[in-house]
Amino acid sequence: MAVAENEMFQRRFDKVNSIIEKHGGKVSNLIAILQEIQAEYRYLPEEVLTYVATALGIPPATVYGVATFYAQFSLKPKGKYIIKVCDGTACHVRGSEKLRYMVREKLGLDDSKDTTDDLKFTLETVSCIGACGLAPVVTVNDHEVYGQLTPEALSIILDQLVAKEKSGDGTSCANSDADADADADADADAATDSTRAAGTDVPGEGC
């Protein structure tokens, strides 16, 4: 490899190197290493998995085996905002399917496509997250928990995220036709005030 190419390669993996070093370059810390890498990239790129295997001195198949075994890891790029619609029993009975349908329609997603082309949004369906009393429940990036949602309220929350992106870095969500005007902002505030779970912590008890 030419010197310039080698430097580019090293820069590309500087962050990965620092994560590996932080964990002492130990194979026993492989899961923690992959978790941090995924937090950095929002998924586990193939070339990074190969690089990690080389750096740790283990076969790539071992790293792939771990990355594909655990549901927490994704080998596909995910959006900046991961919308998780709970479809556990309580949420299903209280209309989670309508929420999923609305998100799909609004973001242009379907069975074969769960992430928008601009990598802003990913839609996931999850089983009970332990907040059945708030059903139907949706989370955004696992931190924001919204309960007793209607499709209309969830639509406003998505509008708010799209508006935030537009005002934050000038990029837009190519697959959303949401209007990010001042009225939507006001509606979004009202919607989130009424639906966001207090403290946004997910209770530990399931249904």
Q: Which residues bind ligand FES (CB under 6 A)?
A: 86, 88-91, 128-132, 135, 137, 206-207
Residue type at position 83: I
**Minimal CB distance residue for ligand FES:** 88
Alpha-carbon gap, residue 194 to 198, rounded angstroms? 10
Which lies closer to ligand FES via its Cβ, residue 20 or residue 129?
129
Q: Measure Cα distances from 171 to 12, 61, 94, 144, 181 in Å.
A: 24, 38, 35, 22, 15
Q: Which is nearer to ligand FES, 91 or 103 (CB)?
A: 91
Structure tokens at 161: 């995220």
Helix (H/G/I), strand (E/B), else coil: 63: helix
Least spacing, CB of residue 136 vs ligand FES, in Å:
7
- In whole angstroms, the minimum distance from the beta carbon of 190 to ligand FES comes to 24
CB 95, min distance to ligand FES, A: 11
User: Is the CB of 90 or the CB of 178 nearer to ligand FES?
Assistant: 90
Cβ at position 103, least distance to ligand FES in Å: 16
3-state secondary structure 91-113: HHHCCHHHHHHHHHHHHCCECCE
C-beta of 39: minimal distance to ligand FES in Å? 25
> Closest CB to ligand FES among 19 and 85?
85
Calculate the CA dihedral of residues 99, 116, 73, 192 and round it to 10 degrees.
-40
CB closer to ligand FES, 63 vs 135? 135
Helix (H, G, I), strand (E, B) or coil at 126: strand
